[in-house]
Amino acid sequence: MSWLVAGDFNETLSNADKSRGPPRGAAPMARFRQALVDCDLADMGFSGSRFTWANRFTKERLDRACRNPTWGNMFPCSRVLTLPLSRSDHNPLLVEVNSELVVTHRTPKRFRFEEMWAQHGDCPNVIQKGWMMPSTG
């Protein structure tokens, strides 16, 4: 069977998942890590902000997605995105489920000419080489 569990676990895996405020207790974090081991679950990591909960004084990563090895083998290119806050004090998580690597093509940046380049001694050679290169489109 394959498993994906995501949500607010109300505990961190380590004090690296916390910013400011008093450190979390070692025993509850150790119990949380052991619970993941006992359930054969692994944290999927994240893209975006590390912290998923905040108050006026502290930020913590309390929300996460965990998967078992079977799920990880079925969907090896999945990822977890931390989305921006909206109406809650927790950031929502988006789990992108992918069995294959998804390649996104970015639009090339627009070329902008800087007047100072014309003053460079090698400018005519660079332009001539550029015009000689084959291009499509």
Question: What CATH number is associated with residue 67?
Answer: 3.60.10.10
* Residue 47, domain member (yes or no): yes
Please count the CA atoms within 13 angstroms of the CA of 9 that sit on its side-chain side: 22
The pLDDT value recorded for residue 102 is 66
The pLDDT value recorded for residue 96 is 94
The pLDDT value recorded for residue 47 is 93
* CB atoms inside a 10 Å sphere around CB 18: 20
Q: Vertex 95, ends 89 and 101: CA angle to 5°?
A: 145
* Backbone angles phi and psi of 48, in degrees to 5: 105, -150
* Backbone angles phi and psi of 16, in degrees to 5: -70, -20
Residue 24 zone, left/alpha/beta (φ > 0; ψ -120 to 50; rest): beta
The pLDDT value recorded for residue 136 is 64
The pLDDT value recorded for residue 113 is 77
Q: Per-10-residue mean pLDDT for the chain, 137 residues long?
A: 94 95 93 97 95 93 97 94 91 92 73 81 87 74
**Bridge-partner residues for 6, per DSSP?**
65
The pLDDT value recorded for residue 39 is 96
Please count the CA atoms within 13 angstroms of the CA of 61 that sit on its side-chain side: 25
Is the pTM for the entire model greater than 0.95? no
The pLDDT value recorded for residue 48 is 93
Q: How many domains does the chain have?
A: 1
Domain that holds residue 36: 4-104
* Residue 80, domain member (yes or no): yes
Percent of the chain with pLDDT over 90: 62
* Residue 126, domain member (yes or no): no
* Residue 113, domain member (yes or no): no
